Amino acid sequence: MVAMALSKIIDTAKEVLDIEAKSILRLKDNIGEDFDKAIDILYNCKGRVIVTGMGKSGIIGKKIAATMSSTGTPTYFLHPAESTHGDSGVITRNDVIIAISNSGETQELMNLLPLIKRFGCPLIGMTGNINSTLAKTSDVTLDISVEREADTLGKAPTASTTATLAMGDALAVCLMEEKGFTKEDFLMFHPSGKLGKGLTYKVKDLMITGERMPIVKDSESFTGVIRTISDYKLGMAMIVDNSGTLTGVLTDGDIRRTIIKHNDTSGLSVKDVMTANPKRITEDAYAASALNLMEKYSITALAVVDDKNTPVGVIHVHDLLRAGVA
């Protein structure tokens, strides 16, 4: 009995996810001229974007407003019920309104429409009913309709709110690209937390320098470099030629592979077994970029070089962890 109940729960959960996923994918067919016009209106907004919606649509609207604000578009959420009791004073003639209502007939929104029209603000309607009052009143209508809600009664806002959120994200991301929003811009709005730290710190802020760098000549013996790696405890050494240019690295992994391959390593030079043309980074790069390289290539340390490919430091994943970047 318990096993059957559990099986039913799992099946229901999977069905909910299927319904909501299909609801989002259906939106792709609704992306066209109206969406492009909406982006154009938002891009040319001289004031702020005002998002409004009641109930669950309002909750989604708050998230859309937060996403837009954090990605370079000043956005404010206006509660439609409060708007007719004085809060509509936040609206100016330079603003753009995004009104969200699945039915397109939400009374609190209907009460706000005359004021929006009086101010002459461009109105972008997001609704599941393209024949609704909201759709007919809007300058641009974005169709967020779904075939069905994900709950067993087909009534609770589930798939429809998911679709609305996805459409809002599409607006925000496209607007970011239109505005040329950069990592530096992102940092301005996210100075705290992990996201901010990844963009605040440069490699030069966290890298190991000077006598703490494991650097050896490419003519040195393989066994000699093993001692260097052991002494510096970074799991690698940077290999340079006579001019001081980085030619390779020797890592713990290289050491293991060499020992497995060669019965006798006594006659080997580090140049014979090092990883040539290794991954590297510059000191002015963001620490987040160093972390991205480490994750992409499954390495724990990176050589830091100048414009002449001369080692000036080494950055280790432990440095990133301590700084809160990783």
What are the CB-based long-range contacts (under 8 Å, 24+) for 237-240?
237/270, 238/213, 238/214, 238/303, 238/311, 238/314, 239/215, 239/270, 239/271, 239/274, 240/215, 240/216, 240/310, 240/311
Q: How many residues does the chain have?
A: 326
**H-helix segments, the chain:** 2-26, 33-43, 55-70, 80-83, 107-119, 133-137, 159-179, 183-189, 193-200, 203-206, 222-232, 252-261, 270-273, 287-297, 317-323
The Cα 67–Cα 91 span in angstroms is 20
**Complete edge-to-edge strand list for the sheet that includes strand 280-282:** 280-282, 301-305, 311-316
Helix (H) or strand (E) holding 220: none
pLDDT digits (tens, 9 = 90+) for 116-145: 988 899 999 999 999 999 999 999 999 999
Q: Residues 1-29: what's their mean pLDDT?
A: 86
- With 70 as the cut, is the pLDDT of residue 244 above it? yes
99 - beta bridge partners?
52, 125
CA–CA distance from 36 to each of 31, 39, 163, 174 (Å)? 8, 5, 18, 9
The Cα 58–Cα 78 span in angstroms is 9
pLDDT confidence of residue 292:
87
pLDDT digits (tens, 9 = 90+) for 300-314: 999 999 999 999 999
Radius of gyration of the chain (CA): 29
The one-letter amino acid at 261: K
pLDDT confidence of residue 199:
61
pLDDT digits (tens, 9 = 90+) for 246-257: 999 999 999 999
The one-letter amino acid at 52: T
3-state secondary structure of 101: strand
Q: Where are the domains of the chain?
A: 2-181, 203-323
Residues 6+ apart with CB under 8 A from 295: none
Positive/negative CA dihedral, 250, 252, 256, 257: negative
pLDDT confidence of residue 1:
46
Class of the CATH-defined domain 2-181: alpha beta
3-state secondary structure of 142: strand
Percent of the chain surpassing pLDDT 70: 92
pLDDT-derived band of residue 183, with 50, 70 and 90 as boundaries?
low
pLDDT confidence of residue 70:
84
3-state secondary structure of 127: strand
- With 80 as the cut, is the pLDDT of residue 233 above it? yes
pLDDT digits (tens, 9 = 90+) for 85-122: 666 778 889 999 999 999 999 999 998 998 898 889 99
- The topology (CATH level 3) of 203-323 is CBS-domain (3.10.580)
The Cα 203–Cα 201 span in angstroms is 7
The mean predicted confidence, pLDDT, of the chain is: 89
pLDDT digits (tens, 9 = 90+) for 36-94: 999 999 999 999 999 999 999 999 999 999 999 888 888 999 998 887 666 677 888 99
Structure tokens at 97: 């309104």
Task: Please measure the distance between the N-terminal and C-terminal CA atoms of the chain and give it in whole angstroms.
Answer: 45
pLDDT confidence of residue 298:
92
